[in-house]
Amino acid sequence: MLKSARKKEKDPEGRMPLSEHLRELRNRLLKSVLAICVVTIVAMFFYMDIAKFLMQPVLDSVGCGGASLSDLSGKGSKGHDCAYFTVNGLLSPFTIMLKVSFTTGLVVATPVWLYQLWAFLAPGLHRNEKKYGLFFVGLGVPLFVGGAFFAYKILPTSAKVLIGFTPEGANNLLPLDDFLDLLARMVVVFGLAFELPLLLILLNFTGILSGRRMLGWWRAMIMGITVFGAIATPSTDPIGMFALAGPVTVLYFGAVGVALLNDRRKARRREADPDFGLSDDEASQLDLTPEAVAAPSARPELTDGDDSGPTRRNGYDDVT
């Protein structure tokens, strides 16, 4: 009975005590982790196919083809521009399986944990701001997946450049677990970086940030995105840095364009309706323009003996 009453007594404006916020955060995190774990378990059954899918582009770019290590040994400089994936240790294959499956679960379960993030933030928003939930999830999922796919596509090019620095006479052996760690970090970094325009658009749509202000930050944003690309890119090579900074910069200016169009649309609607965009707890504007008041009509005087009313004597009727 107490739990049902507590559920019915929710504040319509989303206010709740700290304990309720912590409980809500716990529930959202549990649902997100559960979704990732379910997809991870399913991905374990397809581990071999997924691992081949992740390794194949790099092998096509820097692999040594059908040659073996014994064929390359003693051949001087012929083996310095290619690489092999290696697995060291008895437990490494099992650890690699867990890494591949978890990375797959994180990417595939993106719609679930993005929705849980929005559901945790939504109670603190106004009613007219909650309608952007589907927009947040619907645009956030392809942006994150697009960033992850972009990291997957540029990794072979980055690997080819880095392998080119191998000294002559040396063979490059790539530990598979290190490669998967690098790929997982690049997927997460690129995916989250591609969410930047979505965050800016949401701040604009909710009235927190204007498009003109966003455009005024363009120099600092380009510098910040470039520095972020240099720090956050796990491969620490210039190709990865510019490969991250370039698309995010383009997405930033795209978000600025959307924000400017939205501000122009709001301005037109506000001209037509002064009360447009007001939240539930804001008062509408009052028209304080004075208006002319018509002169009062003359009161008809009643005389003694008038048939239209009671007889008056000395200005008084019979009652008074």
Residue 242 belongs to a domain:
no
Structurally, how many domains does the chain consist of?
1
What percent of the chain has pLDDT above 70? 67
Range of the domain at 27: 21-194
Average pLDDT over residues 179-185: 83
Residue 7 pLDDT: 47
Is residue 188 included in any domain, yes or no? yes
pLDDT of 172 above 90: no
How far from 27 is each of 3, 40, 95, 106, 134, CA to CA, in Å? Answer: 16, 20, 29, 18, 20
Q: Which residues contact 265 (CB under 8 A, 6 or more apart)?
A: none
Assigned domain for 173 exists: yes
Structural domain includes residue 107? yes
Position 179 pLDDT exceeds 70 = yes
Q: Is residue 115 part of a domain?
A: yes
Q: Find the length of the chain.
A: 320
pLDDT at position 70 is 54
pLDDT higher for 122 or 212? 212
- pTM across the whole model: 0.65
In a domain, 258, yes or no: no
At residue 315, what is the residue type?
A: G
* Cα–Cα dist 265/161, whole Å: 47
Per-residue model confidence (pLDDT) at position 280: 53
Report, as an integer, the average pLDDT of 263-281: 68
Residue 229 lies in a domain: no
Report yes or no on 128 lying in a domain. Answer: yes
Average pLDDT, rounded, for the chain: 75
Q: Which one has a higher pLDDT value, 140 or 35?
A: 35
Is residue 40 predicted with pLDDT exceeding 90? yes
Statement: residue 190 has pLDDT above 60: yes
The answer on pLDDT for 38 being more than 90 is: yes
pLDDT for 193 beyond 50: yes
Q: Is the pLDDT of residue 5 over 50?
A: no
Q: How many CB atoms lie within 10 A of CB 78?
A: 15
